[in-house]
Amino acid sequence: MVAGGLARAAGHAIYALTIDYNQRHRIELDSAVRVAAMLGAERHVVMPLDLTRFGGSALTDDSISVPKNGVAPGIPVTYVPARNTIFLSLALGWAEAVGARDIFIGVNALDYSGYPDCRPGFISAFEAMAAQATAAGDGGGTFTIHTPLITMTKAQIASEAARLKLDVSQTWSCYDPPANGKPCGACDSCRLRAKGFDEAGLIDTLLR
């Protein structure tokens, strides 16, 4: 949501892309629809892509549990193999099809879970690859992968949401939503989100 808000603030028309990868926290797809509408997206594609066929992650394989004991060092089992590579590749394809050259992704390399595909080195390498990958590139077009949140802390991201007057109650972060429809409060994603709002001195209206 904050990356999209910054794209809009920079004057871009929004073509929102959400991947329904049959994730454990599919409830985030409902949030994505609301967020795209709030951002005034020209279009919003929710693309089904069933990554549970590959598995290899707690988010795409029900036999692997989501850790609940606190954020640990190293890459956690919630890492989905090549997920952001797949997401950015799809964004690249859609961008080329609609004539867009700016791709925004809300990855974050501080206060994050240790995923390799959230780091600046990965993003730079993807951008270099994208320059070779398309017909648009052949015509001299270049694609820019914008990562406005990559060096922010979660507290800074919460503050940006407030500054942009974005309604965070409509967002979702929890990896393992209980049956009651509330965030679990114990997974890494819940913990990092709570830490961000706490440090920013802001209320997370999703939890009200």
Residue among 57 and 171 whose Cβ is closer to a second copy:
57
Residue 116 touching a second copy (CB under 8 A): yes
The 10 Å Cβ neighbour count of residue 180 is: 7
Residue 188 touching a second copy (CB under 8 A): no
3-state SS, residue 46: strand
Q: What is the DSSP letter of 142?
A: -
Residue 48 touching a second copy (CB under 8 A): yes
For residue 84, which phi and psi values (nearest 5 degrees)? Answer: -70, -25
Of 10, 13, 37, 97, the one binding a second copy (CB under 8 A) is 97
Residue 129 touching a second copy (CB under 8 A): yes
Residue 37 touching a second copy (CB under 8 A): no
Of 13, 30, 128, 182, the one binding a second copy (CB under 8 A) is 128
Of 89, 184, 198, 202, the one binding a second copy (CB under 8 A) is 89
Of 25, 83, 191, 193, the one binding a second copy (CB under 8 A) is 83
| Residue in this structure with the two tokens 């990562």, named with its chain if needed | 147
Of 13, 37, 45, 72, the one binding a second copy (CB under 8 A) is 45
Which residues between 133 and 152 bind a second copy (CB under 8 A)? Answer: 133-138
Q: What is the DSSP letter of 96?
A: H
User: Phi/psi zone of residue 117: left (φ > 0), alpha (ψ -120 to 50 degrees), beta?
Assistant: alpha
Residue 10 touching a second copy (CB under 8 A): no
Residue among 28 and 96 whose Cβ is closer to a second copy:
96
Cα angle 156-160-165, degrees, rounded to a multiple of 5: 150
Written as one letter, the residue type at 166 is L
Q: Which residues, in sequence order, are CB contacts of 203 under 8 Å at separation 6+?
A: 197
Q: What is the DSSP letter of 119?
A: S
Contacting positions for a second copy (CB under 8 A): 45, 47-51, 53-57, 75, 79-86, 88-90, 92-98, 115-117, 119, 121-122, 125-126, 128-138
